């Protein structure tokens, strides 16, 4: 037996389950809430929010999306290797040294400054290759994009640069999940600004603003003709629990592990590094085969839960790099080594949603998805969507 063979036959100690059919159903559910002419830009940066860019992108190509959006050239190049023909928008600024790759991989850069217009225009002219671009307008996010009051100069400069082909304009909301009046202000600032784009440029222009939370307040299918969706397509809702989203989506991501060891310990024993939890009764504890080295946040120490036998078992003490300790004293049936424990997802009729998991960890679902480490194999459910 070779070592590489052994590696591929090892059982999983912890794993992420990715439901690609649910991804496809979510895509349909989101599209069904929007007017039919609205184009769908699938945001798949950061390894498709930790789901694995190859499998996610292949499934979205099959399911029917109009454009991909990523953070950098390397992610865009990966999409190009998976399939040709889909437009790819890069959402982040592009470094000068990366510029040639934009042309090599046929990518659409985001433009936020006169400097970018100048240097992309020059390269496009040298290559005798007109470059499609999207102009980003900062309407209150304070990040990428030209500040809306300064946008006119860029709009003029782009129309003077014949090698730049303005194919889209967009903005990004800072607080669409919880501040509808600020989101409205951003929408209005954006629409006022793009009113100054010449009708000739505007004919085939993609006009987009809405991310996962923006979609909930999307009502203007006349002014906007595209959305840019990341989190929601993975079945995670960014808005408060009290708010029912328009699109009924289902989670695509679960995180599971196994019990590696079970121990009975007396009252008074302290658990894990720093002894932050002291047993207040004779207890049965289970040592789970995953920790922060796999992406279980240390901030869940003494706060989070794992489902075992469909019951919530509290995390005791500090989460460690490779193990997390939970209390299994109260389980009806004795826990066994090798039993499955579920940190995110469903077990029996109980579930821990990513929204709850990330709130307990004092962070946001986006960060949790991006923090599941390379050590964790992704296991894909590849059945076809039925609804
Ligand atoms: C510019 C931009 N548009 C769209 C998205 C997608 O946002 P969401 O994941 O909330 O749908 C992001 C994500 O960070 C983004 O940076």
**Which domains can be identified in the chain, with CATH numbers?**
33-234 (3.20.20.10), 253-381 (2.40.37.10)
Q: Is the CB of 228 under 6 A from ligand 1?
A: yes
CA–CA separation, 223 and 215 (whole Å): 14
Q: Which two tokens stand for residue 129?
A: 């290759």
Q: Please check the confidence at residue 327 and state whether its pLDDT lies above 70.
A: yes
Q: Please check the confidence at residue 350 and state whether its pLDDT lies above 60.
A: yes
CA–CA separation, 120 and 102 (whole Å): 9
Q: What is the rounded average pLDDT for all residues in the chain?
A: 94
pLDDT at 216: 85
In this predicted model, what pLDDT tens digit does every residue of 197-223 receive, in sequence order? 866 666 789 999 999 999 988 888 889
* Catalytic hit among 273, 278, 336, 381: 273
* Catalytic hit among 31, 40, 45, 170: 45
In this predicted model, what pLDDT tens digit does every residue of 94-126 receive, in sequence order? 999 999 999 999 999 999 999 999 999 999 999
Q: Please check the confidence at residue 2 and state whether its pLDDT lies above 60.
A: no
Interval between CA 211 and ligand 1 midpoint (Å): 5
Report pTM.
0.95
14-23, 45-54, 195-204, 211-220: lowest mean pLDDT where? Answer: 195-204
Strands 350-352 and 340-347: antiparallel
pLDDT at 7: 63
Q: Please check the confidence at residue 308 and state whether its pLDDT lies above 70.
A: yes
Average confidence (pLDDT) over 180-204: 86
DSSP string, 11-44: PPSEEEEEEHHHHHHHHHHHHHTS-TT-EEEEE-
Q: Is the CB of 41 under 6 A from ligand 1?
A: no
In this predicted model, what pLDDT tens digit does every residue of 23-38 receive, in sequence order? 999 999 999 999 999 9
Round to the nearest angstrom and report the end-to-end CA distance of the chain.
45
45 among known catalytic residues? yes
Q: Is the CB of 172 under 6 A from ligand 1?
A: yes
Q: Please check the confidence at residue 4 and state whether its pLDDT lies above 60.
A: no
Q: Is the CB of 43 under 6 A from ligand 1?
A: yes
Q: Which two tokens stand for residue 42?
A: 């699938």
Closest-CA residue to 234 (of 215, 253, 248, 210): 253
């Amino acid at each position: 037996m070779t070592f590489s063979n052994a590696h591929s036959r090892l059982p999983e100690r912890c794993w992420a389950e990715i439901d690609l059919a649910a991804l496809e159903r979510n895509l349909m559910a989101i599209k069904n809430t929007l007017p039919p002419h609205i184009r769908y830009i699938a945001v798949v940066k950061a390894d498709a929010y930790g789901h694995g860019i190859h499998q996610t992108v292949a499934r979205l190509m099959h399911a029917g999306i109009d454009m991909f959006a990523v953070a950098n050239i390397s992610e865009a190049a990966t999409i190009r290797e998976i399939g040709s023909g889909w437009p790819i928008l890069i959402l982040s600024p592009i470094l000068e040294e990366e510029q040639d790759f934009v042309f090599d991989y046929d990518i659409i850069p985001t433009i936020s400054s006169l400097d970018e217009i100048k240097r992309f225009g020059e390269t496009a002219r040298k290559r005798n290759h007109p470059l499609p671009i999207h102009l980003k307008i900062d309407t209150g996010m304070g990040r990428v994009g030209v500040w809306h009051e300064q946008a006119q100069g860029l709009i003029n400069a782009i129309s003077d640069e014949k090698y730049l082909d303005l194919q889209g304009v967009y903005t990004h909301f800072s607080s669409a999940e919880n501040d509808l009046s600020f989101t409205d202000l951003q929408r209005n600032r954006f629409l006022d600004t793009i009113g100054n784009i010449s009708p000739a440029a505007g004919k085939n222009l993609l006009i987009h603003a809405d991310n996962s939370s923006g979609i909930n307040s999307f009502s203007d299918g006349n002014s906007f003709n595209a959305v840019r969706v990341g989190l929601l397509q993975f079945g995670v809702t960014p808005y408060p629990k009290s708010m029912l989203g328009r699109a009924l989506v289902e989670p695509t991501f679960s995180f599971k592990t196994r019990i590696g060891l079970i121990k009975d310990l007396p009252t008074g024993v302290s658990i894990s590094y720093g002894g932050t939890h002291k047993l207040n009764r004779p207890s049965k504890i289970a040592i789970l085969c995953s920790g922060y080295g796999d992406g279980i946040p240390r901030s869940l120490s003494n706060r989070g839960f794992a489902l075992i036998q469909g019951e919530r078992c509290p995390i005791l003490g500090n989460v460690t790099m490779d193990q997390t300790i939970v209390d299994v004293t109260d389980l009806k049936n004795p826990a066994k080594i090798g039993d499955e424990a579920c940190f995110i997802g469903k077990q029996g009729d109980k579930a821990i949603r990513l929204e709850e998991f990330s709130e307990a960890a004092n962070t946001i679902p986006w960060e949790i998805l991006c923090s599941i480490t390379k050590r964790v194999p992704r296991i894909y459910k590849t059945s076809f969507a039925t609804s």
